[in-house]
Amino acid sequence: MGDVQSVQRSNHEKIIPGKLISTEWGNPVTTVDYEFTALTESTTYVVIKNYGFNLSGKELIAAVMDNTGGFTTVLDGLKAYLEYGIELNLVGDKFIKN
């Protein structure tokens, strides 16, 4: 991959090519890290960490469950697109406008 350079887009966004994308998300704002680890030349393991919640108890559990489902949906769609060129439109289908 050559020299990997870190890019700091703002105080709250950071990109290290092939390794990390860190952003802010939601309301209230939390931090989301997308960590990438190459397993082979053609496969990558992705870990998503969402932290900085200022909630507790049932509110925290509900927020974590809601965010987990959304990130998983996006990763599922991205995997289908990158591996097979199929655009599943999972986010659009999940949040249909009335």
The pLDDT value given to residue 59: 93
Per the omega criterion (within 30 degrees of 0), is the bond before 17 cis?
A: no
The single-letter DSSP state of residue 42 is S
Q: How many CB atoms lie within 10 A of CB 77?
A: 19
- CA–CA gap between residue 59 and residue 46 (Å, rounded): 27
* pLDDT tens digits along 73-85: 888 998 899 899 9
With beta carbons less than 8 A apart as the criterion, state whether 68 and 51 touch. no
Residue 2 has pLDDT above 60, yes or no: no
Task: Please state the pTM of the whole predicted model.
Answer: 0.73
Residue 34 and residue 21 in contact, taking contact as beta carbons nearer than 8 Å: yes
